[in-house]
Amino acid sequence: MSHSRVTSLAILLMTYGFSAPAFAQGPPAPATLIAAQKAALAQLAFMDGVWRGSAWTILPTGVKHTITHTERIGPFLDGSIKVIEGRGYEPDGRVSFNAFGTISYDPGSKAFTFHAHGQGRVGDFLLSVKPDGYTWEIPAGSATIRYTATIKDGAWLEVGDRIELAKDPVRFFEMNLKRVGDTTWPAGGAVPMK
């Protein structure tokens, strides 16, 4: 076997978290992986639906800016990932914020990942799931940006704090939403075979 082929095989094994003994038995079947992903994502079913409410953030100028915020969230790929779109509206109806994300689960590492696109940026972030919400963090130089969400009884409260060592956290974001209905998004409306 050539060196490049051995290297490619090693990269494949590391990428999918297979150890040599596990690979000798064969990689997990796709149905096994998908079942584990669906079971993990079922913990976040409370997020599904259409949400609306208010959100505020502190702008770099120090001004508190408030918008009407919406979220639409649903399962995709037979419930093995969760798809999210957030939109923020100004009083005149103009969209001033739009973000898109997916939440996935890796059975090998037993970890949730939030893959987010927003405001010209993209990133993958570890998502810690709680029975009634989640937290996720963005490294920001010497600080950490931490988002904490609590979702229960049709209400979604999410806050964002800037955390620096030996300083009190600074709250710069808060979102208060109410669940306003169901959605077939993103699975609904698939292109039919004919």
> pLDDT for 70-113, tens place per residue?
999 999 999 999 999 999 999 999 999 999 999 999 999 999 99
Window from 23-27, 71-75, 135-139, 180-184 with minimum mean pLDDT: 23-27
Give the chain's count of helices (H) and strands (E): 3, 10
Looking at domain 33-180, its CATH superfamily turns out to be Calycin beta-barrel core domain (2.40.128.20)
Tell me the torsion sign for CA atoms 60, 64, 65, 69: positive
Let me know: does 83 contact 73? Beta carbons within 8 Å: yes
- In tens, the pLDDT along 117-173 reads 999 999 999 999 999 999 999 999 999 999 999 999 999 999 999 999 999 999 999
Q: Check whether 14 has a pLDDT greater than 90.
A: no
Q: Omega before 186 cis (within 30°)?
A: yes
| pLDDT confidence of residue 28 | 87
Q: Which pLDDT score, from 0 to 100, does residue 11 have? A: 46
Cα 191 to Cα 58, 85, 194: the distances in Å are 42, 20, 8
- pTM for the model: 0.84
Q: Considering only 6-10, 53-57, 133-137, which range has the smallest mean pLDDT? A: 6-10
80: nearest Cα among 37, 112, 113 = 37
User: Could you tell me the two tokens for 38?
Assistant: 């669906």
Quickly state the pLDDT bin for 48 (edges 50, 70, 90): very high
pLDDT: which is higher, 140 or 4: 140
Q: Cα-flanking dihedrals φ and ψ of residue 98, to 5°?
A: -150, 125
CA 28 from centroid of its chain's CA atoms? 25
pLDDT at 60: 86
Distance CA 23, CA 28 (A): 9
Among all chains, which residue has been given the structure tokens 């779109």?
85
Rounded Cα distance between 155 and 133, Å, is 11
